[in-house]
Structure 1
Amino acid sequence: MKNVRLGDTVLLVVTLCLTALTVPVTLLMAGPAKVGRPALVVAAPWGGGAAAVIADAGGQEVGPYIAPMARFAVFTAPDRAVQAGAWAVLDADALLTLCGFEREPV
């Protein structure tokens, strides 16, 4: 068995803390979805997942990419998606900026 050095333990703890803090900070910086603009809908993968939430909230899915727990959609009332069971409904434009993508505004 190898000896664990203090530096290795500190590095592991720092890495885990940074990883755990990245998601909440990103969610806070993204902000809420806007009416008529692309939104990222995050929902539980069971019970129809994000697709069912979008349909129940009267939204329209956009984009060719589908993830197990998230989809892009446009809403006339983004708050209805949360009421329909979404864990989060975030401004997709802000998320693109946080991820380093730059594009022309639509």
Structure 2
Amino acid sequence: MDIKKFNRDGMIFTILLMATVVLVVPLFRYLNFIGVAIWLVLFGITMYYALSVEKQKKTHDVQTYREIIAFTEGKKLDQIEKSCEIGKRPYQKAFSVIFSALITLVVTIGMYFYLD
């Protein structure tokens, strides 16, 4: 059940995150204050699922890509593999934040100029 809930919440979060990034410019541009309100609600729901996924990752002690894949396949890493993955966590978190920010920036700027 934990794996199914994790996969479901992860999929919902992914879809909501994409919608949050893609819809920001059209909602703000065409619906003004109503668009801002709709986007804020969408953002709030997205953050709820983000926190849910992070809580599940913490509960099951899975943070890196390799740990998450093993968990979703119902497998466990041995102690040496787990130690290596724990060492990677800070770098992977920093990389994912920077990468996500760059994608968001490119999509938002691209949409702004496309819709202009």
Structure (1/2) with the larger helix percentage:
2
Structure (1/2) with the larger strand percentage:
1
Please give the TM-score of this superposition, normalised by the length of structure 1: 0.31
